[in-house]
Structure 1
Amino acid sequence: MDAGVHVANYLLVFVMALFALLLIMEVLRPYKKFSGRSLKQSFATNTSAFIFNNIIMGVLSVSTLFVVAARYSHYGLLNGLESGPLKWILTFILFDFSVYVWHFIGHHSESLWRFHKIHHSDKSFHVTTGFRFHVFDELLEVVVKSLCVVVIGADANVVVVCEVIRMAFVLFHHSNLVIPGERWLSYIFITPFLHRAHHSTLRSEHDSNYGIVLSVWDLIFGTRKEVVPEKIGLEMIEAENFVQLFCLAFITERRLARLLHVLPRRGGRNSS
């Protein structure tokens, strides 16, 4: 367990360094300028979500996968392969595909969407959006990944590398940047251009581009969409702070819609 905790700490340092770099690049050359108030609110909410989630998830995420892989990976599909480049590449591909499938299910299961919609509730799109997750969403993901690690038969150290790459790409493809040649790059990796469509207000657009690192899965399964979203975020889902963000998971859109018809809304027809 100690080794897993040390790995998790190193991972946190790496992620924060990448976060700082992307944040500086967004300030210097943003793809789109969001209003100052909404950007500050989004940044504060997302960062507090990251801090809270990391306190709970710090030992449970990477360290859990490390321990599971070390103890149970010998049952998996790749157990018979000698540790080397071929096994590492296959592990990464299968692990990335597993996360793609889980992401797809998270959009199409009403029970899972209630937690995953928290991530999509950001009305801005920038690097801290990659921190905006409900803690229950992350807990469920750790359980699913642990099962995948056992089924795949991944080496513990390779699992950690996969997580480092995955977390780096989560920050990268949420960045408010234009990457030179990214439309061509997007046929290999998920880029901000592709993932921006995934955060569209329209369900027909945000139910797409589920890949985390490799974009090939969206091509194979017909879930790729190349669109420039008119608006970012979800219409009826909004949170001004972390507490509201946490509670939104327990209010369905249907119930919220009913409330909005009853309660006066600022600027709406029911306003006094």
Structure 2
Amino acid sequence: MQLFNRLEQARSLDGVVEKLQAAIVATPRRMRDLLHGTWMGHSLHPVLVQVPVGAFISAAVLDLLPGQRRAATTLIAVGTAGVAPAAAAGWTDWSQMTKDKQRVGLVHASANVVAAGLYTASLVARARGRDGRVLSYAGLSVAGLGAYIGGHLSYARGGGMNQAMPDMNRVPEEWTAIGSLASLPEGKPAVRTLGDVPVLLWRQGDNVTAMLERCSHETGPLGEGDVVQIGSEACVVCPWHGSTFRLRDGVAVHGPAANDQPLLRVRVEAGQVEVAQP
């Protein structure tokens, strides 16, 4: 849509974006990893969103039925309480997106803030014995707009998706040589290409791990990242946003990546390293 194209190019939003991003990045890394969902291997935001969305939609249905005012009010209270953790996870993911996504995400979040305000006003009206249904239905309408913008952010712009997986579709299903074992440095990542797909290889003795080289978060070049030691494990740090993956098995140790880095099957035949799709 032309509207979304304009939002993605709206540089006038960048001042607000940069201030909010700086504030979020200043929070402890452990908290950010928790909110990214790195610990569960999946973005946490879509999971937490189910609470307010489910509660608000259910309340809208109950508000149409006789004798269900108290139940609808309870659900609105639950949904409103669920906004804060869902928003915290969403803002944390947003802080590590590219500028075009951040501009759209700012409008998405703003719509949700307005919706939460309308639901809060509805709760206040109900507590005072007035009919708060108009406010809650207005909140649901604005939340629906926010959800529509969020859908564009996720599905049209790839926000929060595993950006490395499209490369997996271009890796051959059959075993394919990617280089000799002798050419791989010991204990140091090496990048080789399979057609036009870059692959990160990690050798320890005769054991080799192969993972897609483009970071699952925003396709950053892992081959240009630093190798750090976390505990007893060697890990590679994405140079773009700092996502950190264990070289032995691709597990995401630190976000913003919530997904593990995709691995390929590996074998060594006659001194040649061969890889294939999992």
More helix by share: 1
> Based on CA coordinates, which of the two structures has the bigger radius of gyration?
2
TM bucket (normalised to shorter chain) is under 0.3
Structure 2 length as normaliser, TM-score?
0.26
